[in-house]
A = this chain, B = another copy of it.
């Protein structure tokens, strides 16, 4: 089976925004509330940050359970790594993900301002100034035969969709949240139907899972 580029557990509001306006160190999702956007995932047994043995094992858990499966690398945008813009001012600060990042693989951070790679626990961050096809080639090589996760944010996913490099997407639409502005993934999931099959699966947690795979 060939190596795929997969989007997983990516949450957007009913109106298609993945993050709000005004991203900062204190508010990684801008005016959007990450707790509301991700509570469907946080309630599951396989949520990577879970510290107690509980959690649901229903539909939503199949998605958090699948998060690491057969993933050998991740590609993310700079804004998923850090709120800093422009030249790096502080190399000491090593991103939002703490000493034990939940990736456990090489991570390729897209940025116009490269800096030296570094490792935190079993995650290594590389900083790459390249077009989607080039960074995907690097990530596939690092993934050693496994798939590559496209971690977002929305701007990065849109760029890879535009370059027609995405093989499968799982997007959780949070039915109760309307953001009205911010960083948009889509106007409507129907935009992808020409190139992708789509399963639409409502969950009792209040999100509607959208599962796309290439035609």
Contacts and interface: CB of A to CB of B under 8 A. Distances in A.
Contact of A56 (B2, B66, B197, B203): B197
Contacts of A66: 62, 65-66
Given A65-B69, A69-B65, A69-B69, A58 B199 contact: yes
Nearest to A53: B1
> How many copies are assembled?
2
Contacts of A53: 1-2
A211 interface: yes
A211 B45 CA distance: 14
Contacts of A62: 62-63, 66, 211
A211 B65 contact: no
Given A62-B63, A63-B62, A66-B66, A56 B213 contact: yes
Interface of A: 1-2, 45, 53, 56-59, 62-63, 65-66, 69, 168, 197-199, 201, 203-204, 209, 211, 213
